[in-house]
Amino acid sequence: MNDASPDAPRTTRFKTRIFSGIQPSGGLTLGNYLGALKRFVEKQNEGIEAIYCLVDLHAITVWQEPAKLRQQTREAAAGFIAAGIDPERSILFNQSQVSAHAELAWVFNCVARVGWMNRMTQFKDKAGKDKEAASLGLYAYPALMAADILAYHATHVPVGEDQRQHLELTRDIAIKFNHDYGTDFFPVTEPLIEGVATRVMSLRDGTKKMSKSDPSDMSRINLTDNADTIAQKFRKAKTDPEPLPQAIAALEARPEAKNLVNIYAALAGTDPQTVLDEFAGQGFGAFKPKLAELAVEVLAPISAEMGRLMQDPAQIDAILGRGADRAKAIAQPILDRCFEIVGMVRSRRG
Ligand code: AQP
């Protein structure tokens, strides 16, 4: 699916700039890789200015053990670099090192309406049955996400399908801000939801998305899993007894089968029909080992490079620090101007 080309007319006043983020709330998964990271690298390699952020402020909307959060942030940074993000060409940093995100989020908390937040399905999913016990941060999460994007006047945001609703809210916030203050200061950002793996599903339940915080490690492939673990997880992945069909339509009622075919297609850089053309008539006993083999071929070099980078955490911290300085140089003037528009006295800068 391609929601908007980078030349989309609504944002032509603004320079094309991509922003996207991933929460360091666990180890990166195959879902994060195929739905986001792989496409971040493609966008960077198309020469588009790109800002990529490890959104640690988002991560603490649910409990994070501090030492683990630090480790996960460094590991995610290593994952970005190992997957092909060049921290010289793109900006790579962790969110909490640029205070403009939290400051702009406050302004957006005052622009967004409670009714808008009440419609956010991610809050409902993550808060579960006991909504009263969820953090206020989890509820306000989408306003912070809007701030992440709009602090850079980002015009395009590559994300997986699960983030579509939050992107809509970011657009609503920009439109309302511009309307309330009689300005066209913020761009109405376009989502980029592209490819065959915009929604990679759990290996244990084809109706649930693959997620780094799922209690079952068997539900996901982690970028750091070794070849044996990957093979075992695919071998044990829930499927059905039918062979793979010839027609895509026949996968509609078979979510687990559809998920594995989509994963194969995304890893192979092809489309699901091509996968079915090759495997139609074969059962999962034959398909799963091929899928595992392909996944290992793609992920093993990334995992090995992550391991190498993780041996030097000081180097990762230095990269994140440099990225934060570059990010701040873009975000601070935008935040200052936003405060001016809102009516704050600005008698000192920074
Ligand atoms: N299963 C998925 N399929 C496709 N894309 C996915 N993304 C996440 N899971 C899938 C995309 O990865 C980017 C970063 O997401 P995130 O880590 O900020 O938050 P998330 O979507 O909530 O991811 P998780 O893994 O489910 O994290 P937890 O478990 O902490 O909530 C986004 O672009 C997202 O679309």
Q: What are the sequence ranges of the domains in the chain?
A: 11-198+312-342, 217-309
Relative to beta strand 91-94, strand 17-22 is: unpaired
pTM of the model: 0.92
Q: Which two tokens stand for residue 302?
A: 């990334």
Checking if the pLDDT of 325 tops 70, the result is yes
**Average pLDDT for residues 268-292, to the nearest whole number?**
97
Assigned superfamily of 11-198+312-342:
HUPs (3.40.50.620)
For residue 20, the ligand 1 atom closest to its alpha carbon is: 33
Q: Is 336 exposed, middle or buried (0-12, 13-18, 19+ CB in 10 A)?
A: middle
pLDDT at position 7 over 70:
no
Q: For position 196, what pLDDT does the model report? A: 82
The mean predicted confidence, pLDDT, of the chain is: 94
Q: What is the pLDDT of residues 140-186, one digit of tens each?
A: 999 999 999 999 999 999 998 999 999 999 999 999 999 999 999 99
Which of 43, 68, 211 best tests ligand 1's pocket when mutated (most atoms within 8 Å of CB)? 211
CB atoms within 10 A of CB 125: 12
- Cite the DSSP H helix spans in 151-271: 164-180, 227-236, 255-268
Whether 217-309 and 11-198+312-342 are alike in CATH topology: the answer is: no
Q: Among the atoms of ligand 1, which is closest to the Cα of residue 220?
A: 1
Tell me the per-residue pLDDT of 201-226, one tens digit each, with 9 for 90 and over.
999 999 999 999 899 999 999 999 99
Kindly list the protein residues whose Cβ atom lies closer than 6 A to any atom of ligand 1.
22-23, 25-26, 29, 31-32, 35-36, 159-160, 162-163, 197-200, 209-213
Q: Helix 66-83 and helix 38-45: axis angle, to 10°?
A: 50
Probe residue for ligand 1, chosen from 62, 101, 163, 204 as the CB with the greatest number of ligand atoms within 8 Å: 163
Q: What is the distance between the alpha carbons of residues 281 and 284, in angstroms, rounded to a whole number?
A: 10
pLDDT per residue as tens digits for the range 59-107: 999 999 999 999 999 999 999 999 999 999 999 999 999 999 999 999 9
Mean predicted confidence (pLDDT) in 40-49: 95
- Give yes or no for residue 292 having a pLDDT over 50: yes
Other Cβ atoms less than 10 A from the Cβ of 119: the count is 13
Residue 349 has a pLDDT of 57
Region 217-309: CATH code: 1.10.240.10
Active site residues: 126, 209, 212
Model confidence band, residue 1 (pLDDT cutoffs 50, 70, 90): very low
Sheet with 17-22, strands from edge to edge, namely 91-94, 49-54, 17-22, 156-158, 190-192
Distances (CA, A) of 147 to 38, 153, 173, 187, 314: 24, 10, 9, 12, 29
Of all protein residues, the one whose alpha carbon is nearest to atom 15 of ligand 1 is 22
On whether the CB atoms of residues 51 and 94 are closer than 8 A, the answer is no
Tell me what percent of the chain is helix, strand and coil, each rounded to the nearest 5: 60, 5, 35
Give the relative orientation of helices 100-111 and 313-342 as an angle to the nearest 10 degrees: 40
